[in-house]
Amino acid sequence: MKFFIDTANLNDIKEAYDLGVLDGVTTNPSLMAKEGISGEERVRAHYKAICNIVDDNVSAEVIATDFEGMIREGKELAKIDDKIVVKIPMIKDGIKAIKYFSNEGIRTNCTLIFSAGQALLAAKAGATYVSPFIGRLDDISYDGLELIDQIVNIYQNYGYATQVLAASVRHTMHLIKCAELGADVATCPLKVILGLLNHPLTDSGLATFLADHAKAAGK
């Protein structure tokens, strides 16, 4: 399973990368705004800074919602770095744009997926990744993990190369369950990745080992 970090914060990205388990980054206009990054030039410079930290897979989102606009913006984003994956919304013109970019050899991430039907369309159009937002589905009393299971099964049935990128991952159990269901990628905040480190028995066991070592050393 690939681990992506869902942020535009360079310090968090570097910390996750230095941990040795980071495979990519997902961002969006809201995350850019959270870091105080605005304006086309500054946003693109920030994407380049992210690319300079990680090895691959930096999802950069288009703002346009019409076909021509998405193509224009997507081409400009792809020029920033070979690591860029153009992030396209799940709308009619978005599917058309994904097909266009697929034919051009430009990787895409179809975002805002909330149904298996949407994921099926994106895969048929040639999306590199689809991003089902499981946390947001949970918020409206729908089981987001059930959607991951549906999409994984459909893709396996027909051999689609599109990878399932579980998004809106809120906590460590979301991540573990996505791994059990066969999601190819999970994108989440740094705290969720770091949360995998924690277990009370690890803490108590280490404390016991260190105490025993100190006794044996006569301390």
Active site residues: 87
Kindly list the distances between the CA atom of residue 75 and the CA atoms of 38, 45, 136, in Å, as whole numbers in the listed order. Answer: 20, 16, 29
Q: Under DSSP, is residue 128 helix (H, G, I), strand (E, B) or coil? A: coil
- Taking each helix axis from N to C terminus, what angle separates 144-158 and 116-125, rounded to the nearest 10 degrees? 40
* 18 closest CA partner among 149, 177, 170, 193: 193
What's the CA gap between 172 and 192, in Å, rounded? 5
**Do the Cβ atoms of 106 and 74 come closer than 8 Å?**
yes
What's the CA gap between 126 and 100, in Å, rounded? 9
